[in-house]
Amino acid sequence: MIRIGIVLGSTRPGRRGEQVARWVEQRARLRADAEFEVVDLLAHPLPHLDELPGEYEHPHTRAWAETIASFDGFVVVTPEYNHSAPGVLMNAIDFLRAEWRDKAVGFVSYGGVGGARAVEQLRLMCGALEMADVSSQVTLSLATEFENFAVLAPGEHHTAALDRTLDQVVAWSTSLLPLRAGSPVAVA
């Protein structure tokens, strides 16, 4: 069975992403076509890039590479900070290359305009890493999908969008299996 990582892309105190990632995980666990696991960047503290590409000398890089290599696809949960994705998320993505290649990625974002601008940037990064970004995505506005800007309360249309996103991530992750089988990921 394929494995999908739900990457929680914020480490900021007071982040709303934990609620969003748990909502994604709860919905995903209703499925029987894949296994899902939350990957919280708080559990993977990475400094600014301190490795040469593909040469993993530090334990934090090896641990991060092993985590990412263990998944067939991803759902990235990201806020939008200052019209962009969080630096910690972009750094975590930049740390690796081969471990991302030929895997599907979908996005669930939140922010003032639903986090759409952060996803635009992440799609460019993922394309450069030879990932297949799916077209469906979920955008959650802090003003309308969070009670008092604090407690997640997504509407039914967001649940339907999440189901479509998960459908696409699972389908693409499955379709890309033959490509990954032909190119082993070397984790030092």
Can you give the CATH number for the domain in which 29 is found? 3.40.50.360
Q: Does residue 187 contact residue 99 with C-beta atoms inside 8 Å? A: yes
Handedness of CA 74, 79, 83, 89 (dihedral sign): negative
- What does the DSSP 8-state code read for residue 179? H
Q: How many domains does the chain have?
A: 1
Q: Decide if 176 is inside a domain.
A: yes
Reported pTM: 0.95
pLDDT of residue 188: 45
> CA distances (Å), 82 to each of 111, 117, 118, 172, 183, in order?
10, 9, 9, 31, 37
Q: What are phi and psi of 183, to 5 degrees?
A: -135, 95
Amino acid at 39: V
Q: What is the pLDDT of residues 106-162, one digit of tens each?
A: 999 999 899 999 999 999 999 999 999 999 999 999 999 999 999 999 999 999 999
pLDDT of residue 182: 74
Strands 35-40 and 73-79: unpaired
Q: Which residues contact 181 (CB under 8 A, 6 or more apart)?
A: none
Q: Does residue 138 contact residue 130 with C-beta atoms inside 8 Å? A: no
Q: Decide if 187 is inside a domain.
A: no
Task: Average the pLDDT over 3-23 and give the result.
Answer: 97
pLDDT of residue 56: 94
Q: What is the pLDDT of residues 26-84, one digit of tens each?
A: 999 999 999 999 999 999 999 999 988 888 999 999 999 999 999 999 999 999 999 99
Give the residue numbers spanning the domain of 124.
3-181
Q: Decide if 186 is inside a domain.
A: no
Q: Decide if 188 is inside a domain.
A: no
Q: Does residue 86 contact residue 10 with C-beta atoms inside 8 Å? A: yes
